[in-house]
Amino acid sequence: MAELVYDNTGRLLFTKEMKEEYTILMPQMLPIHFGMFKKMLQLEGYHVEQLNNQGRAVVDEGLKYVHNDTCYPALLVIGQFIDAIKNGGYDPHKVALFITQTGGGCRASNYIHLLRKALKKAGMEYIPVISVSFGLEKNPGFSLTIPLIRKLIYAMMYGDLIMNVANQVRPYELNAGDTDKMVDFWCNKLIDRFTAGKGMSRKQMRAAFDEICNDFKTIPYAPGEKIRVGVVGEIYVKFSALGNNNLEQFLLSEGAEPVVPGLTDFMIFKIYNRVVDVDIYGGSLFKKKVCQFFMGYIEKCQHDMIDALKASGRFRAPGDFADLQRLVKGYLGNGCKMGEGWLLTAEMLELIHSGTNNIVCAQPFGCLPNHIVGKGMIRALKDNYPNSNIVAIDYDPSATEINQENRIKLMLANAKGLAAKAEKEEQPEAAHA
The H-assigned helical ranges of 227-340 are 235-239, 247-253, 264-281, 285-312, 321-328
Domain contains 292:
no
Q: What is the pLDDT of residue 419?
A: 80
Q: Identify the domain boundary among 144, 172, 187.
A: 144
- Residues 240, 136, single domain; the answer is no
- C-alpha dihedral (133, 186, 359, 349), degrees to nearest 10: 70
Q: Are residues 402 and 257 in the same domain?
A: yes
| H or E element that contains 132 | strand 129-132
Q: pTM of the predicted model, to two decimals?
A: 0.93
Q: Is residue 364 part of a domain?
A: yes
Q: Give just the sign of the alpha carbon dihedral 291, 293, 295, 298.
A: negative
Among candidates 68, 111, 71, 109, which has minimal Cα distance to 366? 71
> Does residue 162 sit within a domain?
no
pLDDT, tens only, 293-352: 999 999 999 999 999 999 999 999 999 999 999 999 999 998 888 889 999 999 999 999
Q: How many angstroms separate the CA atoms of 58 and 95, rounded?
A: 18
Q: Quick one: 87 and 230 in the same domain?
A: no
Domains in the chain, number: 2
Q: Is residue 342 part of a domain?
A: yes
Same domain for 253 and 373, yes or no, is: yes
High-pLDDT (> 70) share of the chain, %: 96
Residue 31 belongs to what domain range? 16-144
In a domain, 20, yes or no: yes
Residues 238 and 113 in one domain: no
Sheet of 48-50: strand order equals: 48-50, 23-26, 95-100, 129-132
Residue 154 falls within a domain, yes or no?
A: no
Confidence of residue 159 (pLDDT cuts 50, 70, 90): very high
Q: Is 313 exposed, middle or buried (0-12, 13-18, 19+ CB in 10 A)?
A: exposed
Q: Report the CATH number that the domain containing residue 28 is assigned in CATH.
A: 3.40.50
